[in-house]
Structure 1
Amino acid sequence: MTRELKALSVHLFTATGIVFAMLAMLAAANEQWGMMFVWLVVAFAVDGADGPLARKYEVDTYAPRFDGNLLDMIIDFITYAFIPAFALFQSGLLPGWTGWAAIIVITFASAMYFCDRSMKTEDKSFRGFPGCWNMLVLVLFATEPPFWITLGIVSILAVAMFLPLKFVHPVRTKRWRAVSLPMIFIWTFFAGWAAWVDFHPENWAYWGLVLSSLYLLSAGIVQQIVPERKAG
């Protein structure tokens, strides 16, 4: 297989994410929340794998016709923000005006964030909450907190998208990557499990999902508070 064909294959692999997004949206339209999140988790796994593949096979050099970053952003907005916002609204986790407020805030803030040219820091972390509403909403489905807690979390994270707070990229942020990378695999496993059993996971899976989410949400902020030790 030529280098050009390998690079093109990475773009095609990335594009499968939009197919999984459509399957998730169809499930959401029928209020099949478990299957919706199964497809979103699959799309999340594709999104996690395509970046390293794109760098390995040098897609910008050998398949420059297609903009992999733009393709990735289009799919991410739909799978990370648009569909989760719809699910939060349609499911009734936020009743009445709170659902309307959440769906407007999530989609509007995410549209602005996903075109923010300063969203990445020098160490490849995210500047501001990276709009991972798919991860948040899945945890909310699994835990079902009172609506006012859900509304508070959504409001705080929407503001945090534009604050100078750091959130780790589990693959690209080098600091603590030995912990962050396994943690994202752990989260993906527990998330897939919770969705597969229609959000009735065993206690160990429930806490595994919660604890891995708390790490991924807080690790970058802790890194800002605790300076990195310089070698030598």
Structure 2
Amino acid sequence: MTARLSAFLVHGFTAIGAALAMLALLEAMQQQWDIMALWLAVALLVDGIDGPLARHFEVKKHAPEIDGVLLDLIIDFLTYVVIPAYALYASGLLPGWTGWLAVLLIPFASALYFSDTRMKLPDDSFSGFPGCWNMLVLALLVMTPGVWVTLTLVIILSVAMFVPLKFVHPVRTKRWRLVTLPVALIWTLAIGWAAWTNFAPNPVLTLVVAFSSVYLLVAGIAQQALNGRHNT
């Protein structure tokens, strides 16, 4: 297999995420939240793998006709933003006007954030909350914290997209990766199990998802705080 063909196959693998997004959307429209969650989890897995593959097969060098970064952003906007925003609105997690607020605010803020050239930091972390609304919605389907807690989280995270706070990438951010990556895998397995059981109440899964979600949210901010303390 030639290097050029390998590079185009990697682009094709990335593009699978768009098809997975449509499958998730179709399930969301049928209010099959468990199946939607499974498709989003698969899309998240593809998104975690395609980057290392792209670098290994040097897609920028061998298949430059396709902009892999732009392709990834298009798919991320579908799976990270559009479908989760709809799920918050249609699932009952945010009923009435709160659902309307979320379904309008999340895409608006995320479109601005995804277009921000400063979103990536030198250590492959993100500046501001990286618009991982899919992870929030999946966690909320497990924890079901209530309307006002959910709405407060949506508003805080929407603002956090434009605040210079650091958020880690579980795969690419090297610092604490020996902890972050296993936590991300545990989170993914817990979400997968919850979806497999149709999000039936499970106190153990709720605790696992809650603690792992909190870690993934605050790990980068903690690193930032520690750096600031070391620099003083």
Residue 148 of structure 1, CA deviation: 0.6
2:76 partner letter? D
Helix, strand or coil: the match of 2:93? coil
Give, in angstroms, the shift of residue 229 of structure 1.
10
Instruction: Report the TM-score when normalising by structure 1.
Output: 0.96
Aligned-residue identity in percent: 60
Shift of 1:203: 3.2
Cα RMSD, aligned residues only: 1.4
Structure 1 gaps, min length 5: none
Kindly state the Cα deviation for residue 201 of structure 1 after the two structures are TM-superposed.
5.7
What do residues 41-86 of structure 1 show as CA deviations (whole Å, max 9, x unaligned)? 0000000000011011100001111111111000000000100000
Structural mapping, 1:1-232, within 5 Å: 1-200=1-200, 202-227=202-227
Say if 1:106 and 1:158, in contact at 8 Å, map to a contact too: yes
Cα distance, 1:197 vs structure 2: 1.1
Q: Which secondary structure does the structure 1 equivalent of 2:214 belong to?
A: helix
> Per the alignment, in what secondary structure is the counterpart of residue 46 of structure 1?
helix
**CA deviation after TM superposition for structure 1 residue 8, in Å:** 1.0
CA–CA separation in structure 2 for the residues paired with 1:229 and 1:64: 43
| Separation of aligned partners in 1, 2:185 and 2:53 | 17
Q: Match for 2:31: what amino acid?
A: E
CA contact (8 A) 1:10 1:50 kept: yes
CA distance in 1, matches of 2:130, 2:4: 31
Q: What TM-score comes out, normalization by structure 2 length?
A: 0.96
Letter in 1 for 2:54: A
Q: Which moved more, 1:80-89 or 1:115-124?
A: 115-124
Deviation string, structure 1 residues 130-160 (Cα, Å, up to 9, x no partner): 0000000111111111201110000000000
Amino acid at match of 1:122: P
Q: Which runs of 4+ in 1 moved over 6 A?
A: none
Equivalent residues, number:
230
